[in-house]
Chains A and B, each alone.
Chain A
Amino acid sequence: MKDLVGLFPYWAVALLMMTGLYIVIAQGNLVKKLIGLGIFQVSVFVLYIAMGVVSGGTPPILETGFVTYSNPLPSVLILTAIVVGVATLAVGLALAVRIRESFGTVEEDELLPLTEPEAPADAEPHA
């Protein structure tokens, strides 16, 4: 049982991840989905960094007097992932803005009847 205490951080993070995932799937507002996606992703980052922690260690910046360092590799990977996340968010928000302008709404429930796949083509209303 004491052994499992060392897993607690991972479980807490798993909870956060699942909340984010829930928001992405369940919520109807497109922008809120994107925010939920962000929460999901940041939680995954926390998971990675948590995996790289070395107890008694220090950030991986070499300095005289320190011997034990935490793992630098998760930091590198997550730096990349953060940037990828904001890139996806930017494109997603741009799409949401265009959808709002084109369809008048960003709520999934309201969009469904407007995007009926079998209906004829529907070009953008030109300004």
Chain B
Amino acid sequence: MIGLLAALAAIAVAVAFMRDLLVVAMLSSIFSFACCALFVLFDAPDVAFTEACIGAGVSTVLTLAALRLTGRQERRSGRPATAIAAMVATVCGLALVYGSLDLPRFGDPRAPANGHVAPHYLTRSEGEIGIPNVVTSVLGSYRGYDTLGETVVVFTAALGVLLLIGGAQARPGKRGEAPARADRDVVLRAIATLFVPMTLFLAPYVQFHGAYSPGGGFQAGAILGGALILYGLVFGVERLNRLVPEAVLRVIATLGVLTYGGTGLVTLALGKGFLDYDAFGTRPVGQQIGLTVIELGVFMTVGAVMTLLFQRFAGRGEA
């Protein structure tokens, strides 16, 4: 753990001082991966999974796609903001240290955070929801409303990018301007031909096995998006657009949100509260039905949006 934390600190400092933004993007990706390792170490495999797919994966791809349009080098000039920034950071840091003095020591099982609500999830979810992955239970059922909000956030991001890049301001890349197709390279073509279908199979597995192991809608959607993005990177974004047209993705993303929210409305119609899966049957079966449906909604939206975001950024012509 100490080694990882030290490495993270080194990377963060390097990011602060490097000017080549391509390198910075890669460093931040490594930072995310190192955090993944920490998450695994800290008994949070679901988070590690998601951070790997979305934090290290999709974020880096989007950053690189944007850098292609905004420029690779940072131009540095003397900035007075540096002093203010250092001061703010130091003050906040000291505040954090001060506040931490009251915190339970690392790993303490008697910490209040580990009492009260958490034990209920750990002990009662078996009977109430009946799936081993407690994180999925909490995410999908106990705190399912937050997850609906989260799915809407993903959708909102897509909405925002669609409004900002594309539509009437569409500047479709002219021939030769889009990211170069890499499929003339034998090695890349071979790897892509191998990995894309494998990853496409991995996605549904992660989706449905998320109840029994780390996984679930978000990770599966990100993996599906990742597979499609890989295809787009190697074979060209035009082919990706032909394979999964943007219009289709928009509809799927919408359907995902509506599936999730619609489940809630259905439970209302069935006489129960919003997102109360007991409306679907006695526990734990009813809960599992509800969970499966909403996870599908999440999968649809996340997968469609990740691909959509890549398509928009990659398809944009040079200024």
Residues of A within 8 A of B (CB): 3, 6-32, 34-36, 38-39, 42-43, 45-46, 49-63, 68-76, 78-80, 82-91, 93-98, 100-101, 104, 106-107, 109-110, 127
**Given A79-B47, A91-B157, A94-B165: A19 in contact with B59 (beta carbons within 8 A):** no
In the complex, B122 has a CB within 8 A of chain A? yes
Q: Tell me whether B132 and A62 are in contact (CB under 8 A).
A: yes
In angstroms, Cα B106 to Cα A3, docked, is 10
- Cβ–Cβ < 8 Å partners of A69 in chain B: 43, 122, 134
**Given A87-B156, A100-B71: A35 in contact with B28 (beta carbons within 8 A):** yes
Minimal beta-carbon separation of B87 from chain A (angstroms): 10
- Cβ–Cβ < 8 Å partners of A31 in chain B: 21, 63, 66-67, 70
- Cβ–Cβ < 8 Å partners of A80 in chain B: 146-147, 149-150
Q: Tell me whether A25 and B21 are in contact (CB under 8 A).
A: no
Contact of B164 among A54, A56, A95 (CB under 8 A): A95
In the complex, B88 has a CB within 8 A of chain A? yes
| Sampled A-B contacts (8; CB under 8 Å) | A9-B5, A28-B76, A46-B35, A61-B132, A79-B50, A86-B54, A94-B165, A106-B71
Q: Tell me whether B153 and A84 are in contact (CB under 8 A).
A: yes
Q: Tell me whether B135 and A87 are in contact (CB under 8 A).
A: no
Chief secondary structure at chain B's binding surface: helix
Contact of B70 among A58, A90, A96 (CB under 8 A): A96
Q: Tell me whether B160 and A90 are in contact (CB under 8 A).
A: yes
In the complex, B12 has a CB within 8 A of chain A? yes
Q: Tell me whether B100 and A12 are in contact (CB under 8 A).
A: no
In angstroms, Cα B13 to Cα A58, docked, is 32
- Cβ–Cβ < 8 Å partners of B213 in chain A: 61
Residue among B43, B105, B138 facing the most chain A CB atoms (10 A cut-off) = B43
Selecting from B109-117, B182-190, B242-250, B269-277, the interface stretch reads B109-117
Closest to B146 in A: A80
In the complex, B82 has a CB within 8 A of chain A? yes
Minimal beta-carbon separation of A36 from chain B (angstroms): 7
Chief secondary structure at chain A's binding surface: helix
- Cβ–Cβ < 8 Å partners of B55 in chain A: 38, 42, 82, 85-86
* Docked complex: B6-44 residues within 8 A CB-CB of A: 8-9, 12-13, 15-16, 21, 24-25, 28, 31-32, 35, 38-39, 42-44
Contact of B44 among A10, A30, A52 (CB under 8 A): A52
**Given A22-B85, A25-B85, A82-B55: A17 in contact with B96 (beta carbons within 8 A):** yes
Q: Tell me whether A63 and B113 are in contact (CB under 8 A).
A: no
Minimal beta-carbon separation of A95 from chain B (angstroms): 6
Q: Tell me whether A107 and B75 are in contact (CB under 8 A).
A: yes
Minimal beta-carbon separation of B159 from chain A (angstroms): 9
**Given A9-B5, A25-B81, A54-B109: A39 in contact with B12 (beta carbons within 8 A):** yes
Given A82-B50, A95-B164, A97-B164, 15 more A-B residue pairs with CB atoms under 8 Å apart are A7-B101, A21-B89, A22-B89, A23-B12, A29-B21, A31-B67, A38-B55, A49-B42, A54-B114, A61-B45, A82-B51, A87-B154, A90-B62, A93-B65, A101-B69
Q: Tell me whether A62 and B134 are in contact (CB under 8 A).
A: yes
Closest to A93 in B: B66
In angstroms, Cα B55 to Cα A115, docked, is 32
**Can you list the 9 inter-chain pairs with the closest CB atoms, starting with the nearest?**
A6-B105, A55-B107, A87-B157, A26-B85, A25-B85, A70-B43, A93-B66, A19-B12, A94-B164
Closest to A35 in B: B28
In angstroms, Cα B122 to Cα A75, docked, is 13
In angstroms, Cα B105 to Cα A10, docked, is 9
Closest to A100 in B: B70
In angstroms, Cα B222 to Cα A85, docked, is 14
Q: Tell me whether A93 and B62 are in contact (CB under 8 A).
A: yes
Closest to B319 in A: A101
- Cβ–Cβ < 8 Å partners of B81 in chain A: 25-26, 28
Contact of B126 among A14, A62, A78 (CB under 8 A): A62
Contact of A19 among B16, B101, B107, B117 (CB under 8 A): B16
Q: Tell me whether B54 and A15 are in contact (CB under 8 A).
A: no
Q: Tell me whether B24 and A35 are in contact (CB under 8 A).
A: yes
Minimal beta-carbon separation of B50 from chain A (angstroms): 5
